[in-house]
Structure 1
Amino acid sequence: MRSIELFAGAGGLGIGASEAGFHPAKVVEWDDYCVETIRENQQRRLGIVKGWPVVHGDVRHVDFSPHHGQVDLVSGGPPCQPFSLGGKHRAHKDSRDLWSEAVRAVRETQPRVFIFENVKGLLRDTFASYVSYIQLQMQYPSLDRKEDEDWADHLSRLERHHTSGKEPEYRLVMRLQNAANFGVPQRRERVFFVGFRADLGIEWNFPDQTHSLDALIWDQVVTGAYWERNKVATRDRVINPRHEARAKVLQRTFGGLPEGTSRKPWRTVREALAGLPDPELNPEVAAELLNHRFQAGARSYPGHTGSPLDEPAKTLKAGVHGVPGGENMLLRPDGSVRYFTVRESARLQTFPDKYKFHGSWSETMRQLGNAVPVQLAAVVARDVATHLQSA
């Protein structure tokens, strides 16, 4: 199956789609460092990106019409800074808002399906009208915005068209998903937009969650299976008080995990980093691995406390606000903190260990902080691919 990847970044969504069986006809990214990351891995002949035809440039200058009717999937993550909870929340007033370009790619290629994703901040109440605008554009991509029409007038025209009884060109599903619920060792919420071309008649829903917090709590607090599985001595076991309280509720109310709860526990930082030498304690050994060097300067203060070793990591941030690296720190059981290395952060984002990131620590952390976890992307893309093949 053929695809086009927009706003590729360091490659998270694209790698996930490739793992699901989509082969890109075009991969578009404007950022120099992200492009160098992809190209450096191509030069290293890393199979998952080796054949990607990368277009290094502004998506607004790319003509997609030669691919009309020839691709199955258009995917990507339009720049999220206009909606990020850590940004200035300018949305459609921000020049980095390129949702219209994502819709244009769909209009010019008419793929069988599209997958777009963005940050949780997109769902803020202040953006509600604009989110409706995005959704209606995706459902009716051929109803393009006129030259003299602002977005609000275009929205009104789309609403009239939608309520006139016209059949949508794409049947759209939107949902907020937490990556931790799909085995990613990080609490990371992303909004997904998945639309199948209406003429295909495909019925689709998001894949069921495979992992749960309650299962992790049960393993840590009630059975102790988590500690035994990871060979953690009793003196090194630090349990979140909220998890202890929840365990009591589970025992008292349900006598175990509630019916329908995913039995696989959330994956933790400890499990994600298994096998990696500590870069602070063993710098020479760590330096032999890709992107695994100690970064000094981490410190804890209110609102900046790091990720506990025995829980999924907090959301990795792009590091452009406040202290460099944002919240990208490991919190050890003894209370000390240090920054995650780039390799550790890549593990938390489920990138392959052989995937190398180009640039300085702060630059590579920006790439990782903006990325979609590969595993989450692959879960969605595989399910989409299965439905396309069945159709």
Structure 2
Amino acid sequence: MNAIELFAGAGGLGLGVTRAGFKTLDVVEWDRWCCDTIRQNRARKAAGMEYWPEPREGDIRKFSFDQFEGKVQLVTGGPPCQPFSLGGRHRAQQDHRDMWSEAVRVVRETQPTAFIFENVKGLTRATFETYFTYIYLQLSYPEIAMRDEETWLDHRARLEQHHSSKGSSALSYQVMPPKVLNAANFGVPQKRERVFFVGFRADTGIQWSWPRETYSREALIWDQIHGDYWDRHKVAKRDRPTAPRTSPLARDERPEGQAWKTTRDALVGLPDPELAPGARSKFTDHRYQPGARSYPGHTGSPLDEPAKTLKAGVHGVPGGENMLRRPDGSVRYFTIRESARLQTFPDEMLFHGSWSETMRQLGNAVPVDLAHTVADSVAGHLKAMEARTGNA
């Protein structure tokens, strides 16, 4: 099965798709640092990127995708999210960085069997409700393109009329109701929420549902109170919480599923780059970055919970964010390697650029494991359809 990766960034979504068994035919990204990250790992034959083509670097609006018509089963990507992020200016469709129409154009030109698009949770805010439904309608009927001189509101009205009248379209998709997924509930050691759009071409008849959440906060609390969490991490009793959290669950009432993965889980094997500078040199991209400080609302991520959401920042790493908070209350910035682990990138992967540039790449990324969970579920349905019909 073949795939196209749009707005690839550092490759988090694309790597999840690769792990799910798709062959990537095209990778598109405008940012040169992200492209250099992909090129570097392709050359090193690392992380699965050795199977990717050379990325097409540049403005997606200047690229054609007609050559892939009928040749791909999946189109994926994360259109630039600054117009919708809580840290951005919230301009949505008025922002020149809004690339949703380009994502729809690629679907229209390639006609894939399915697509996976994702974005920040901020897109679901009430402020953007009108535009949110516009995205949904465009993905449902990509063949109904915007006309010359037509405003997006007029285009939305025309799509809505088509939808309500149950009009026929040569190319239409059954789009699942978009859903916000918390990466921590899928085994990622980070509380990171992204909204996903998944659709299957209407003529496939595929009935799909969202992957089931298999990790929980309740299971983590049980593990830390009744399980072997502290022993597993070899935390001395004197260093364990003096006032452990209480749990309404008895020892024999362990919740179903697995415990949330914590920051401590993610950093196993990595020495503290500030306290053990000699040992840290054995690990790539694991350099201590000074300057972290704590202030109200920005206190860092505690060791024994999933990390807070890594953020990209508009002008470098946000002050007070992307930090580790040690049990003694001291803080320091996460290293690149630690941040990569929190985003479930493999240790063999290297990132191109300065510390602040690399942290921006990581702060914008989709956790690889979350991407794999969604893509693997889609792949399973596509394979079942192929087995049933003899084609994809």
TM-score, normalised to structure 2, is 0.94
Query: Residue 88 of structure 1 aligns with which residue?
Result: 89
Deviates more, 1:226-235 or 1:320-329: 320-329
CA distance in 1, matches of 2:201, 2:370: 23
Q: 1:350 aligns with which of 340, 344, 348?
A: 344
Listed one character per residue, the Cα deviations across residues 111-155 of structure 1 (whole Å, up to 9, x for unaligned) are: 000000000000110000000000000000000001111111111
CA distance in 1, matches of 2:252, 2:281: 48
The Cα of 1:262 is off from its aligned counterpart by: 4.0
Q: Taking structure 1 as reference, are residues 167 and 380 closer, same or farther at Cα in structure 2, changes over 3 Å only? A: farther
Query: Residue 149 of structure 1 aligns with which residue?
Result: 150
Q: Taking structure 1 as reference, are residues 239 and 339 closer, same or farther at Cα in structure 2, changes over 3 Å only? A: farther
Q: Does structure 2 conserve the Cα–Cα contact (< 8 Å) formed by 1:83 and 1:91?
A: yes
Matched, 1:305 2:282: no
The Cα of 1:263 is off from its aligned counterpart by: 2.2
CA distance in 1, matches of 2:156, 2:20: 34
Q: RMSD of aligned C-alpha atoms? A: 1.7
Query: Residue 192 of structure 2 aligns with which residue?
Result: 188
Q: Taking structure 1 as reference, are residues 143 and 240 closer, same or farther at Cα in structure 2, changes over 3 Å only? A: farther
Q: Between the two proteins, what is the percent identity of the paired residues?
A: 63
Matched, 1:290 2:287: no
The Cα of 1:282 is off from its aligned counterpart by: 1.6
Query: Residue 211 of structure 1 aligns with which residue?
Result: 215
Query: Residue 138 of structure 2 aligns with which residue?
Result: 137
The Cα of 1:167 is off from its aligned counterpart by: 5.2
Q: Does structure 2 conserve the Cα–Cα contact (< 8 Å) formed by 1:317 and 1:325?
A: no
CA distance in 2, matches of 1:354, 1:211: 26
Q: Does structure 1 conserve the Cα–Cα contact (< 8 Å) formed by 2:190 and 2:309?
A: yes
CA distance in 2, matches of 1:210, 1:16: 18
In structure 2, the residue corresponding to 1:50 is in which secondary structure? Answer: helix
The Cα of 1:38 is off from its aligned counterpart by: 0.6
The Cα of 1:226 is off from its aligned counterpart by: 1.4
CA distance in 2, matches of 1:18, 1:325: 34
Matched, 1:227 2:230: yes
Query: Residue 204 of structure 2 aligns with which residue?
Result: 200
Q: Does structure 2 conserve the Cα–Cα contact (< 8 Å) formed by 1:317 and 1:326?
A: no
The Cα of 1:196 is off from its aligned counterpart by: 0.4
Q: Does structure 2 conserve the Cα–Cα contact (< 8 Å) formed by 1:318 and 1:325?
A: no
Q: Does structure 1 conserve the Cα–Cα contact (< 8 Å) formed by 2:317 and 2:359?
A: no
CA distance in 1, matches of 2:96, 2:25: 27
The Cα of 1:235 is off from its aligned counterpart by: 1.8
**Gaps spanning 5+ residues in structure 2: where?**
386-392
Provide the aligned length of Structure 1 versus Structure 2.
381
**Gaps spanning 5+ residues in structure 1: where?**
none
Query: Residue 274 of structure 1 aligns with which residue?
Result: 268
Counterpart residue type for residue 366 of structure 1:
R
List aligned pairs for 1:245-264, cutoff 5 A: 247-248=247-248, 250=249, 256=253, 262-264=256-258
The Cα of 1:286 is off from its aligned counterpart by: 1.1
Q: Taking structure 1 as reference, are residues 5 and 240 closer, same or farther at Cα in structure 2, changes over 3 Å only? A: farther
List aligned pairs for 1:63-78, cutoff 5 A: 63-78=64-79
CA distance in 2, matches of 1:93, 1:138: 19
CA distance in 1, matches of 2:195, 2:48: 25
